[in-house]
Structure 1
Amino acid sequence: MPTVKEGPRALFAEASRWWVRLLPWGVAFVLCVTLLPTTVNVLAADYGLNGGVASALAVAQTVPLLLAVVRPLQAWYVIFAADVAGALALLTVEAGAGLVWPFPPMEIIGYIGLCLALGLRERHRTLLAVWLATVSATVALEFAAPDGASRSGILLIILSGVALLLAGALREQYEVKRRLVAQEAISEAERERRTLLEERARIARELHDVVAHHMSVITIQADTAAYRHEGVPPGVRDELASIAATARRSLNEMRRLLGVLREEPRSELAPQPGLRQIGQLVEATARAGVPVEFGPCDTEVSEAVGLTAYRIVQEALANVVRHAPGAPTHVSVSEEGERLTIVVVNGPPPSPPAAPLEANATGHGLVGMRERVRLIGGTVDVGPLPDGGFRVAARLPLAERDLT
């Protein structure tokens, strides 16, 4: 299917405010309806030009200003040619002494408006070519200037150059700001994506220990089953050996693939925390000056669920220490049916902290919290409370989600 090429857009078409988008059209309309009758009257009455010729020149010099809102360069071709033709036409009549030549004032006003539109749309090279053409035509016309005429060529050269330069600078500044905003948006998206990947990598490093433990247990049980049980048939013995070999290969492949995620090799030797370590975490937070209430939970859960519950409480208490030091906090971990419910609620701090305890806090902890909960098929809800406190509530399945 052939693509439809989009036509040129009007000046300021990307502005957010409606009146800014309509501003170029309004200016062009005012210039057109003002300069058209004025040009006809001045050329016919003051300069003595034929009425039909004066009307044709006035239309060619003013109506294309409406086109300049969308296609300023094409409008310049018409207006520039009409201005030069008008100057040559004035040489055929006996103009009174003191009249402006080669460009009457109304032509200069329209041409400056056109130069502003050009500067807001065209490239620097095009603007330079337009100004050089203006200078060349004006200098050439100066050699044919009638006696007694008040020359306006130098004024047009200066004003057109200033208009082109000013509008071009404004356009360049707008483009720089637009690119900066676009780059900031891209950078923010990249930061969010990098944060998510870092949290997933951290989770993968921790869950790697859990999975590796289970795979090791499978390998050992399959290897030793024939020795721990008497009378194992040869077929079963061969199947157990095959299971052990497969588990061993899987364990090696997993370590090879996930080993690149390791940044701190020594941390591999430390056991991953679970529900039983939450009490120690609460005690450490209380020593930091946060009054915490906690009822221990003795529910048996898998290592992945226990690790996720521990990290949720850890991140929630860390946020209390950072953002609400001294606030009364309640930590609840309980079993509800087939779900493990974790709730961490803190009230408002006794007094607003003079400064944040961590000036460079990134706020990425909630991202990792959501990723952990999503990975094992749970749900999490976080948000502020009406009294100024904060609540973190998560529900985790007691049995790990089957991904097969």
Structure 2
Amino acid sequence: MTRYASANVVMQIVGFGLLAGTLATAREGSLTLWVVYGACCAGWFAFHFLVTARPRRAGVALLLSALLPAVAAGWAQDSTAVILVSVLLGRFAAWHRPRAAALWPVLCGCLLLTLLTSAAGGAGPGDLAGYAVMMLLLTLLGLNQRQYRLRADQAERLLHQTTLMQQEQAQVAVLGERARIAREIHDVLAHSLGALTVQLKAADALLEGGDLDGARARVRRSGRLADDGLAEAAAAVAALRDEVIPLPDMLAALVADFGRDHRTDVRLTTTGTARPLPSGPVVVLVRVTREALTNAAKHAPGGAVTVGLDYGADRVRLEVRNDIPRAAAFVTAGPPVSGYGLTGMRERLALVGGTLHTGPDASRRTWRLVVEVTA
């Protein structure tokens, strides 16, 4: 808009200069024609004065200021009237408000009227050809300016619409992310508090029966559940704040804590080129890993566990493998992931473009949990 405003000012100055120069060099002796020229200039100034506040009246003023010299061109002693018509037609053609249905009749009408009155006044073919070329040239210049303005307006509208769309998309993304984080925190609290309730009730029952060792084990289990819940809640809050630790570091800390707490041989391997991931996939992958490790400790205590993280070109693959106890080697479907369940995990993975597959391998001695996330 700034570039167009500058071009518009330049065009007005050039047009005024042409009018002033034409009138200053006119060799007209008829008072009537000078009155026509004065009315023409008055219409020019009225157009620029009214074009913003009263565009319809401004258009009428400009049209009349072009028709007057067009009618009087046949009685003029020189080409002053034709030059005035040319300048005014160029200005009218550059105006972006008239529609094409109204623009072309005005331009063609003024052009034909000027040539007809000039021919009636005795102008020769050469003069008529020169008049036509001059009027067409200034009209084409005005049309070029008009097209530039229309394209600029269209580009500005498209930019405005694009900005609004981007703002709406960003708002929808923010709301979706907040809803996802709220759901994650809700699930963490529900799972942790539910598990704590069960353990504490069991500890209370054991205390009533005099089983101090069993009660103490339940209390310790409650402490571990509370720590896990706090860790998951902290991860969800970090995701809300975009403060997620890199996935390999989070998995390394999780594996180290699991190996220390359960005295289990657990290894983490990372392949591919690590890269930053959005908070959603990171939180889900960490949760799935924690659930898989908990499941391994529950159903295959003491068995070796391997966690593999692979960064592909357009996806991230997580695989958790643990030994199946011999007594359970005949199973065809593994135990459910503790707490949230496989269905809940698949739903959360689907929200971040991921898939979950579980089951024993071909030897039926190792349980595999495989997660793939597009990222």
TM-score interval, smaller chain:
0.3 to 0.5
Q: Computing the radius of gyration over CA atoms, which structure comes out larger, 1 or 2?
A: 2
Normalized per residue, which structure has more helix? 2
Alignment TM-score, normalising by the size of structure 1: 0.45
